[in-house]
A and B are shown apart, each in its own frame.
Chain A
Amino acid sequence: MSSPRTSDVLVIGGGIIGLVTAWRAAQRGFGTAVVDPAPGGGAAQVAAGMLAAVTELHHGEQTLLGLNLASARRYPEFAAELTELTGHDLGYRRCGTLAVALDSDDRAHLRELHALQQQSGLESEWLSGRECRRLEPLLAPGVRGGLRVDGDHQIDPRRLTAALVAACERAGVVFHRVRAERLSVAGGRATGVVTPDGTALAAGQVVLAGGSLSGRLAGVPQDVLPPVRPVKGQVLRLTVPPRYAPFLNRTVRAVVRGSQVYLVPRENGELVVGATSEELGWDTTVTAGGVYELLRDAHELVPGITELPLTETRAGLRPGSPDNAPLLGPTELAGLLLATGHYRNGVLLTPVTGDAMAHALATGELPDEARPFTPRRFGAAALSEQPA
């Protein structure tokens, strides 16, 4: 690496996606820097960390499923590598997921999901309400049935983020703890960023990995600016005291009268309850209504949660894209790559994103599994859809 203000690769954004990109780039021998006022922050600080490729399957998202599955398959090795390198325990837990239905409408919905999973060749098992409750005795007696998906695991995103920061540091990644004010473009090529005090950080290649903020970085040409918007999610953290442990043995989730609720039990006693989905711009306030709805639905699913301490309420912003899939790799602007728009799947897609971005930085092309996620799929179409 040359001077600290010049690098081969400059990553804008030090959330999990930016960090994994920087780490993998540095491992490939690129002199790498990250620009972020507070590296290790971002949506992953709020996320529950479900690695739910199978239970998060939606109609029309089979392409995304391929990428999700590829990333899920890489998780064991990815987590082991990070832990070995940094000594951080990531809270990676292969506990599986149980998706249940509480009434006949929700049951029909879940049946449909099961059919789609089977068409897609995924492993999931339909269980009666009684069988669900044998697995998780604290589930409400009204459970009508459910899907057992042993392949949907979980990780603690906060610990994952901390480990990625440590891994970056070990790999020699430079952290510029400032905000990227604008992208520098010269001769039709991205050349770095300018910080608020006017300092120029130069780089051979720039990766925009700013989460929901990616869509509003100054200096990015309109036709390259990623169509990413913030989607607010409120998430609660409860604690399972040792005398109530284990409380739940696996991730439990349901659609309760149309809204998603999940409970993710960590081995350290944390129980994450999420999440709302709100299109309210950059608002990250926690509201009485958000907390009420989450607790109401979670209580309907697992009545005993009322006994647990409520230790944290927080809201984060998912980087939503028009097709709910990420934008990865080179853009129409030479020297600028994107790694953003991961929406609900940022934590799940972290391993595959790191690999795909390192490959793209080295070769100029995305690897096969990531090719459908090129930002170019939006190019002209996204532009023509913009209101005047």
Chain B
Amino acid sequence: MADDLLVLGGRSFSSRLIMGTGGATGLEVLERALVASGTELTTVAMRRVDPSVHGSVLSVLERLGIEVLPNTAGCFTAGEAVLTARLAREALGTDLVKLEVIADERTLLPDPIELLEAAETLVDDGFTVLPYTNDDPVLARKLEEVGCAAVMPLGSPIGSGLGIRNPHNFRLIVEHARVPVILDAGAGTASDVALAMELGCAGVMLASAVTRARDPERMASAMRAGVEAGRLARLAGRIPPRYFAEASSPVEGRAVLDPERPAF
């Protein structure tokens, strides 16, 4: 799959797994997990890390040659998110930003109105904007229209591990999007990310599922395999689901009882 690249704002990545660092119990454990995940792009909360301080998670990423994706975690308003993104760009010299504007601390769900406004401002300001969004096809479309380089819908709330609660919306989002769709938040285990990729996501972003697993390094390997498996399955093209069995060896003269593709 050397030629099957994830392209975000003109940058190409051979890994489709974007990692987060939140929840890691220590830098060593995190480093092993990042290596195992094969990630080439990892997000860091700019409000919790000072790029000028040596020895932080940013040093780990630098050592591993992983590109930093600054995020605006903890912002409740478009104004704060824009300010945080600009400070990150200044500090890290990257125009990439994972845009998060949350509505409240209890659900950590995105505030769609603030998000859209911040996205528009940042795109105008020359950022490559990757917005963390609700699994809302309309909002995803609007984010794409204002110039976001990808849309990153949540499968379920951040850190919940509840997987993709509304696969139908993901299908709608993927169907309409002309930018990469990346599952952001909600993955709990390898099958969740495989499902995301089978649904047509271009990548998966996760943190807690790995950093809070009993064995983060092994879970990172599982996630990597899950992403690759799902991607391959998507590209290979799954068989249409059927109500009744169909023998793998042909049975001559068998009637086709239901030619319509059943609802998935």
Residues of A within 8 A of B (CB): 133, 137-141, 243-244, 303-304, 306-307
Report the Cα distance A138→B78, complex, angstroms: 8
The count of chain B contact residues (Cβ–Cβ below 8 Å) is: 14
Inside 8 A of A139's CB, which chain B residues have their CB?
Answer: 77
How far, in Å, is B27 (CB) from chain A's closest CB?
A: 24
> 26 pairs across A/B with beta carbons < 8 Å?
A133-B77, A137-B77, A137-B78, A137-B79, A138-B77, A138-B79, A138-B80, A139-B77, A140-B76, A140-B77, A141-B76, A141-B103, A141-B113, A141-B114, A243-B87, A303-B75, A303-B76, A303-B77, A303-B80, A304-B75, A304-B76, A304-B77, A304-B79, A304-B80, A304-B83, A306-B74
Report the Cα distance A306→B75, complex, angstroms: 10
- Chain A CB within 8 A of B218 CB: no
Inside 8 A of A304's CB, which chain B residues have their CB?
Answer: 75-77, 79-80, 83
Inside 8 A of A138's CB, which chain B residues have their CB?
Answer: 77, 79-80
Inside 8 A of B76's CB, which chain A residues have their CB?
Answer: 140-141, 303-304
Report the Cα distance A118→B76, complex, angstroms: 34
Residues of B within 8 A of A (CB): 47, 74-80, 83, 87, 103, 111, 113-114
Report the Cα distance A91→B142, complex, angstroms: 45
Inside 8 A of A141's CB, which chain B residues have their CB?
Answer: 76-77, 103, 111, 113-114
Inside 8 A of A133's CB, which chain B residues have their CB?
Answer: 77
How far, in Å, is B64 (CB) from chain A's closest CB?
A: 29
Nearest B residue to A136 by beta-carbon distance? B79
User: Nearest 3 pairs between A and B by C-beta?
Assistant: A137-B79, A303-B76, A304-B80
How far, in Å, is A265 (CB) from chain B's closest CB?
A: 14
How far, in Å, is B71 (CB) from chain A's closest CB?
A: 15
Report the Cα distance A306→B47, complex, angstroms: 10
- Besides A133-B77, A303-B80, 19 more A-B contacts (Cβ < 8 Å) are A137-B77, A138-B77, A138-B79, A138-B80, A139-B77, A140-B76, A141-B76, A141-B77, A141-B103, A141-B111, A141-B113, A141-B114, A243-B87, A244-B83, A303-B77, A304-B76, A304-B77, A307-B47, A307-B80
Inside 8 A of A303's CB, which chain B residues have their CB?
Answer: 75-77, 80
How far, in Å, is B224 (CB) from chain A's closest CB?
A: 35
Inside 8 A of B114's CB, which chain A residues have their CB?
Answer: 141
How far, in Å, is B252 (CB) from chain A's closest CB?
A: 66
Nearest A residue to B47 by beta-carbon distance? A307
Report the Cα distance A192→B80, complex, angstroms: 58
How far, in Å, is B72 (CB) from chain A's closest CB?
A: 11
Report the Cα distance A304→B103, complex, angstroms: 13
Nearest B residue to A138 by beta-carbon distance? B79
Report the Cα distance A182→B74, complex, angstroms: 57
Nearest A residue to B101 by beta-carbon distance? A141
Report the Cα distance A302→B216, complex, angstroms: 37
Inside 8 A of B83's CB, which chain A residues have their CB?
Answer: 244, 304
Inside 8 A of B80's CB, which chain A residues have their CB?
Answer: 138, 303-304, 307
How far, in Å, is B107 (CB) from chain A's closest CB?
A: 14
Inside 8 A of A307's CB, which chain B residues have their CB?
Answer: 47, 80
Nearest A residue to B78 by beta-carbon distance? A137
Nearest A residue to B105 by beta-carbon distance? A303
Nearest B residue to A299 by beta-carbon distance? B76
